[in-house]
Structure 1
């Protein structure tokens, strides 16, 4: 069986060995940089998730969302009353009562 008794025919010169070592060092440096970037990305992802959670729990955002919803309800009510042909003198009072009701609901949620 000559398959296992093969002799190494390629001779490694010092020039090739130095080139191989330089490439290996460069490869190691690049791998270290990749690992550092992976750590940075994971830290930034966790910080982004933390800030997103804080923003979603923020009372300011909740209040803004509820106020926007209240204004949307007022606008829809105005459009509906206009379509039904409600006289403008009654429409103002109805919308004012609705606005006060929405305002009181928003104030009640804060407490």
Structure 2
């Protein structure tokens, strides 16, 4: 839905277990989302990722999500993460991906 400033807003629901066994399915989901965004690029595009239904995440899921967020950043889009369950936030911090989810670039081992 376009906002009053002429910007465009997109909301994507990410759900399920973001673990090694499901990485192909989620990679396709994120590729489809990126393709949708790139079809009609807007100068002030807003992207919200709804994480309320994400039930689990491991290092593979973290890396996939981090790469997607960085890809959006390269397109000039700053995504907002919405409704992240507390357990997932704790896992992301434990796995070293809290800086990426805060909008930064990965540091240390997870950058590889």
Of Structure 1 and Structure 2, the greater helix share is in 1
Greater C-alpha Rg: 1
Question: Could you state the TM-score of these two structures normalised by the residue count of structure 1?
Answer: 0.26
Q: Structure 2 length as normaliser, TM-score?
A: 0.26
Higher strand share: 2
